[in-house]
Every structure is written in structure tokens, then in C-alpha cells.
């Protein structure tokens, strides 16, 4: 590491809270490693920053500052434009303002030395090149998904059908084979503009001076080693994770505190935490079936329940309905599970729940953010992927790292109550299911090893700290 020259790292997170959190943790680690690094967040978006974004950014140390660019105007895009189309235009249309920021930083004598963008932010590299600033990518997901992204330009050239039509899985060095239908959803429907922008981004990855990935060597040893082989035509890859939200949440609402109090009264590792993340929604039918399955499992559970969606494949970016999710529950469910079940509408202090000793399992949508939070707390998983790259994450967690059970959907895409009960019992205790019980124990032991690994790699001489220190920004 060059000690003499001050580094000033500009970070542009792609719109959306989930991606801001790991970036904030990255910024904290960068200023922690030496006293000459400063960081500026440049926040872009279609609308003004949310209160949550502002609160997070305003609470950071003084060597991390933030600039909020004016919202871009996307009213000319068709209303059917997919999220990737919108993100791509947001980044491109923010470039003129980004130039202005780079110029004024230069006038203040604080010229940026590096630009770090998100997985879909490579259009900002245009500005980095103009100002001769080194461009980097921070990939907030795992190395298996990154490998797929790096391979996408080649797939784009060689495959003529839709990826879900592929009869053979895509096999990449060191990675779990990915079947076509599990591929990240922005790469499905190749005639859609959203796909075009995904492919375009992936083609620009080779312009980066380095790619930082939110993973660590003990979690994905083979995928990481394969990407670090010398002589490959791609930038060096630095596993610097797990970067997760460590900040304690203040101002918890009464209901949230109630759920922590309830956890205090439960036996060690006895509670299954159920949450599909800030974006995940289930249909009313699926909420009902999940409830019946949880009831049938006889296990304790803490369930964050959100308003239902209308279609099984809907996601974060569809408008959420206003239906009260409690109306989807089977009649009498809350009374029958009183004491062993706790249901909270909308939001819960996830980091505190996963760190609580009573929590013994996590039924999750497999968002990488939530997955890493579970890993640092050693809580084994039930994988129930919904959208984005979550099916790829679920395969990695169940087939390769082996820290998760997979909940399988029946035909018409609904996970039935019997299946819910099977995986919940299997993970939590294996009662009546000899093989599942054995597997449950294996998953628990493996998750404990990953937790220890996660802790080790972030120590001063750990592999993720060393990888970060190799970066000269
Ligand atoms: C990631 O975790 C943080 C902290 O628990 C949470 O606030 C945020 O909403 C999560 N993001 C996603 C996309 O789940
Ligand atoms: C956005 O652009 C459209 C033209 O594409 C224009 O009619 C509209 O006034 C603009 N909106 C704002 C808020 O600038
Ligand atoms: C969701 O699924 C329905 C039926 O399978 C399909 O018609 C629709 O286009 C899908 N929506 C999205 C956003 O993929």
C-alpha cells in the first residue's frame, strides 16, 4: 500500500437500500485501514433520497461525505420499462452532474483517485476515464454470481435461445452448475431492453481495475481460486466480505422491541425466523399455505409478514398491494399458535433477531444481504428464493456450501404445507425424519464453521482484510 499519497474514493451505489448497506460498510473499512483515505458517496436516483438513506449517510464519520445529485427525469421511458432499463438510464443521465462533482472536487484540491460502482453502474466509467480515475466494481453478491456475470458476454454471443430453454446447465470453473431457469432474472427474456442493459454492463466489467466481491475465501474457496488464476482476461478479483450491517438500529418501534422481548423468553436456538426481505412478497394463497405448514411443524417461529402480491413471480419492483396480510392467514391461526409463534407485520430488527441466542434457523428469500447476516451469526437456513439472483444463491447454499435446506414448490409454484413442515422440522430438530434430522445437524455444524471463518477473515491478518489492503486506491 502506498502510504504517501492521499486516496479519495468516490462511491456510487445503485439506487435501492439493499445495496447501500454493504457500500457503507466498505467505506467504513476503507477509512479504518489508514488515516489518509477519504470517501465521498455520490447518490443518484429517480427521486429524492429516502429518509432511510439520508439517516444512514448522515450518521457516518466526517471523513465520509455525501453528495446528492438531482433526480433524473425518466418520464420519457415507457411505463413497462424494467428495473434494469431504469437503472441504466439513471446512471447515464447522472453522468453530466457527476462530471460537475469531479470538477469541483478537483478545484478543492480533492481530486478523486478511484471510482467504485455497483454491479449495474459501469456507465459511470465514462466519467472515470475522462478524469483518469481508476474504475472499480464492488459486487455486492457472491463469487458464483460474479463468475456468471463475467461469463455473460460469452453466453450472449454463443447462445441463441432464451437461457431458460438451455438443456444443459452452465458450468463455470469452481462454481455450482446453474440450470437455465435459475439464472438471474434480469438475464431472462432476452428480447427485453432490461436484458440488453444487463449484457452491456457485463461487457464493461473488463474495464475495471479490480472487482471487489462481498464474499470470503472459506465460503467459496473454489469459485474464488478459479477467478484468481493468472492469465485470465478479466480484472483481479478481491474477496473482501462479509460486509454486513453492524450498526445497531436505534429508535426501535414498540412492536419490534416486543419481538425481542418475546425471543428472550424462548429456549436456546429454538426459534425459526421467517422473513422474505424488504422486497419479497408472497401471494395470499402462499401466505396461507406457509402458515399451515408452520403450524404443522410444531416449531417456534417469528414471522415478518408483508402484504401479499397478486402474482407468484412478482417482486420488489411491482407495486405492493395494500391488503392486510393478516387476512390471508387461516382462521384461528394466531390463536392456535399463540405462545410458540410471533407474527410482526412489515419490518423487524433483523440484525438483532439473527444475533439473538434463541434464534436457531432462518427461512429466507436468500438475498445476499440477509444470507451474510445469517452466516456471521451462524444461523442455518431454509432457502426459499423469489427473484433476482436468489435462485442461484439458493443452489450455492444448499448444494455447495451446504448450510441450507431447500423448500421446493409444487406445480403452479406454491410450496405446500407438507413441504413447509418437512423442511422446518428437518432443520430445527428432525423429529420423525431420521435422514432429515441428520442433515439438519450437518447443516448446523457447517454453518458454525462458516461463522468462525467469517470472523477470522475480517481480523487484522485475515484474508478479506489483506485483500482490501492490497487495493491501492
Ligand atoms: C439488508 O439488511 C439491512 C439491515 O438488516 C436492511 O435494512 C436492508 O433492508 C436489507 N436489504 C435487503 C435488500 O434485504
Ligand atoms: C421530464 O421530461 C419531459 C420530456 O421528456 C418533460 O415534459 C417534463 O416536464 C420533465 N419533467 C421534469 C420534472 O422536469
Ligand atoms: C409472471 O407470470 C405470468 C404468468 O406466468 C406472466 O404472464 C407474466 O409475464 C410474468 N411477469 C413477469 C414480470 O415476469
Domain for residue 425, yes or no?
yes
The residue whose CB lies within 8 Å of the most ligand 3 atoms, and thus the one to mutate among 181, 313, 316, 391, is 313
- Is 178 strand, coil or helix? strand
Q: Atom 13 of ligand 3 has which residue's CA nearest to it?
A: 314
72 and 158 inside one domain = yes
From 308, 315, 303, select the one nearest 286 (Cα to Cα).
308
> How far is Cα 464 from Cα 139, in angstroms, rounded to an integer?
14
276 and 194 inside one domain = no
The single residue of 19, 89, 356, 365 carrying the catalytic annotation is: 19
Q: How many residues does the chain have?
A: 473
CATH number at 386 reads: 3.40.50.2000
C-alpha of residue 312 to centroid of ligand 3, in Å: 8
pLDDT of residue 472: 80
Strand order in the sheet with 210-213: 64-68, 37-43, 7-12, 114-117, 134-139, 210-213, 237-239
Neighbouring residues of 263: CB distance < 8 A, sequence distance ≥ 6: 271, 302, 353, 356, 358, 359
The single residue of 8, 89, 118, 185 carrying the catalytic annotation is: 118
pLDDT of residue 63: 95
Residue at grid coordinates 454470481: 145
Residue at grid coordinates 502510504: 3
Torsions phi, psi of 391, nearest 5?
Answer: -70, -35
Domain for residue 430, yes or no?
yes
Q: Is residue 173 within 8 Å of residue 153, measured between CB atoms?
A: no
Q: Is residue 82 within 8 Å of residue 50, measured between CB atoms?
A: no
67 and 36 inside one domain = yes
Report how many domains make up the chain: 2
Domain for residue 130, yes or no?
yes
Per-residue pLDDT of 405-432, as tens digits, reads 999 999 889 999 999 999 999 999 854 4
233 and 305 inside one domain = no
29 and 68 inside one domain = yes
Torsion over CA: 298, 304, 308, 312 (sign): negative
**What is the residue range of 209's domain?**
7-241+459-470
pLDDT by 10s per residue, the chain, length 473: 444 578 999 999 987 656 788 899 999 999 988 888 999 999 999 988 888 889 889 999 999 999 999 999 999 999 888 888 899 999 999 999 999 999 999 999 999 999 999 999 999 999 999 999 999 999 999 999 999 999 999 999 999 999 999 999 999 999 999 999 999 988 999 998 889 999 999 999 999 999 999 999 999 999 999 999 987 889 999 999 999 986 555 555 666 688 999 999 999 999 999 999 877 789 999 999 999 999 999 999 999 998 887 654 444 444 456 678 899 999 999 999 999 999 998 778 899 999 999 999 999 999 999 999 999 999 999 999 998 899 999 999 999 999 999 999 998 899 999 999 999 999 998 544 455 666 677 899 999 999 999 999 999 999 999 999 998 88
pLDDT of residue 319: 45
> How far is Cα 403 from Cα 462, in angstroms, rounded to an integer?
22
The residue whose CB lies within 8 Å of the most ligand 2 atoms, and thus the one to mutate among 71, 75, 89, 90, is 75
pLDDT of residue 432: 41
The residue whose CB lies within 8 Å of the most ligand 1 atoms, and thus the one to mutate among 57, 245, 316, is 245
335 and 441 inside one domain = yes
Domain for residue 1, yes or no?
no
Alpha-carbon distance values, 224 to 119, 296, 298, 429 (Å): 17, 41, 40, 33
C-alpha of residue 290 to centroid of ligand 3, in Å: 22
Q: Is the CB of 140 under 6 A from ligand 1?
A: no
Q: Which three cell numbers stand for residue 267?
A: 429456549
pLDDT of residue 348: 86
Q: List the alpha helices (DSSP H) in 298-383.
A: 333-336, 350-355, 368-376
105 and 180 inside one domain = yes
Determine whether 161 is exposed, middle or buried from the number of CB atoms within 10 Å of its CB (0-12, 13-18, 19+): exposed
pLDDT of residue 316: 41
276 and 404 inside one domain = yes
466 and 439 inside one domain = no
Q: Is residue 280 within 8 Å of residue 306, measured between CB atoms?
A: yes
pLDDT of residue 3: 47
Q: Is the CB of 18 under 6 A from ligand 1?
A: yes
Q: Which three cell numbers stand for residue 291?
A: 402458515
Q: DSSP labels for 67-120?
A: EEPPPP--TTS-TT--HHHHHHHHHHHHHHHHHHHHHHHHHTT---SEEEE-TT
Domain for residue 71, yes or no?
yes
8 in active site: no
From 349, 332, 190, 163, select the one nearest 255 (Cα to Cα).
349
Q: Is the CB of 95 under 6 A from ligand 1?
A: no
Q: Is residue 274 within 8 Å of residue 337, measured between CB atoms?
A: no
19 in active site: yes
28 and 166 inside one domain = yes
Q: Enter the DSSP assignment of 181.
A: G
181 and 207 inside one domain = yes
> How far is Cα 197 from Cα 51, in angstroms, rounded to an integer?
29
130 and 267 inside one domain = no
C-alpha of residue 349 to centroid of ligand 1, in Å: 10
C-alpha of residue 73 to centroid of ligand 2, in Å: 6
Domain for residue 2, yes or no?
no
Torsions phi, psi of 220, nearest 5?
Answer: -135, 60
pLDDT of residue 210: 97
Question: What pTM value is reported for the model?
Answer: 0.90
C-alpha of residue 386 to centroid of ligand 1, in Å: 16
Amino acid at each position: 500500500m502506498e502510504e504517501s499519497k492521499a486516496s479519495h474514493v468516490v462511491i456510487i451505489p445503485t439506487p435501492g437500500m439493499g445495496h447501500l448497506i454493504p457500500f457503507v460498510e466498505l467505506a467504513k473499512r476503507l477509512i479504518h485501514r489508514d488515516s489518509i483515505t477519504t470517501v465521498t458517496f455520490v447518490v443518484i436516483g429517480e427521486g429524492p433520497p429516502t429518509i432511510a438513506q439520508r439517516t444512514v449517510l448522515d450518521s457516518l464519520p466526517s471523513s465520509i461525505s455525501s453528495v446528492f445529485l438531482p433526480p433524473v427525469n425518466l418520464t420519457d421511458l415507457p411505463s413497462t420499462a424494467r428495473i434494469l432499463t431504469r437503472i441504466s438510464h439513471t446512471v447515464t443521465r447522472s453522468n453530466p452532474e457527476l462530471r460537475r462533482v469531479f470538477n469541483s472536487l478537483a478545484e478543492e484540491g480533492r481530486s478523486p483517485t478511484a471510482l467504485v460502482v455497483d454491479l449495474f453502474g459501469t456507465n459511470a466509467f465514462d466519467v472515470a476515464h475522462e478524469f483518469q480515475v481508476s474504475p472499480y466494481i464492488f459486487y455486492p453478491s457472491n463469487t458464483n454470481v460474479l463468475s456468471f456475470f463475467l461469463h455473460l458476454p460469452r453466453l450472449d454471443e454463443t447462445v441463441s435461445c432464451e437461457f431458460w430453454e438451455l438443456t444443459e446447465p452452465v458450468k463455470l470453473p469452481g462454481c455450482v452448475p446453474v440450470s437455465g431457469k435459475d439464472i438471474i432474472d434480469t438475464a431472462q427474456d432476452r428480447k427485453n431492453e432490461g436484458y440488453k442493459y444487463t449484457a452491456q454492463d457485463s461487457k464493461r466489467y473488463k474495464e475495471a481495475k479490480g472487482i471487489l466481491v462481498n464474499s470470503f475465501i472459506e465460503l467459496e474457496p473454489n469459485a474464488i481460486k478459479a477467478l484468481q488464476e493468472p492469465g485470465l482476461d478479466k480484472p483481479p478479483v478481491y474477496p473482501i466480505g462479509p460486509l454486513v450491517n453492524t450498526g445497531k438500529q436505534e429508535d426501535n418501534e414498540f412492536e419490534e422491541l416486543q419481538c425481542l422481548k418475546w425471543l428472550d423468553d424462548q429456549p436456546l436456538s429454538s426459534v425459526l425466523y421467517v422473513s422474505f426481505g424488504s422486497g419479497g412478497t408472497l401471494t395470499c394463497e402462499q401466505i396461507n399455505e406457509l402458515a399451515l405448514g408452520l403450524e404443522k411443524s410444531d416449531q417456534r417461529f417469528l414471522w415478518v409478514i408483508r402484504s401479499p402480491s397478486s402474482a407468484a413471480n412478482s417482486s420488489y419492483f411491482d407495486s405492493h398491494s395494500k391488503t392486510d396480510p393478516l387476512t390471508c392467514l387461516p382462521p384461528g391461526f394466531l390463536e392456535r399458535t399463540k405462545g410458540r409463534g410471533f407474527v410482526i407485520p412489515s419490518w423487524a430488527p433483523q440484525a438483532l433477531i439473527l444475533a439473538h441466542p434463541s434464534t436457531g434457523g432462518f427461512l429466507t428469500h436468500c438475498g445476499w444481504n440477509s444470507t451474510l447476516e445469517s452466516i456471521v451469526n451462524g444461523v442455518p437456513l431454509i432457502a426459499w428464493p423469489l427473484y433476482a439472483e436468489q435462485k442461484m444463491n439458493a443452489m450455492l447454499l444448499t448444494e455447495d456450501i451446504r448450510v441450507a435446506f431447500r423448500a421446493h414448490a409444487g406445480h403452479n409454484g406454491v410450496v405446500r404445507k407438507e413441504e413447509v413442515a418437512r423442511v422446518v422440522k428437518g432443520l430445527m430438530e428432525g423429529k420423525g425424519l431420521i435422514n432429515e434430522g441428520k442433515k439438519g445437524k450437518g447443516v448446523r455444524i457447517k454453518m458454525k464453521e462458516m461463522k468462525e471463518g467469517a470472523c477470522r477473515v475480517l481480523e487484522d491478518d485475515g484474508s478479506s482484510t489483506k485483500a482490501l489492503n492490497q487495493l491501492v486506491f
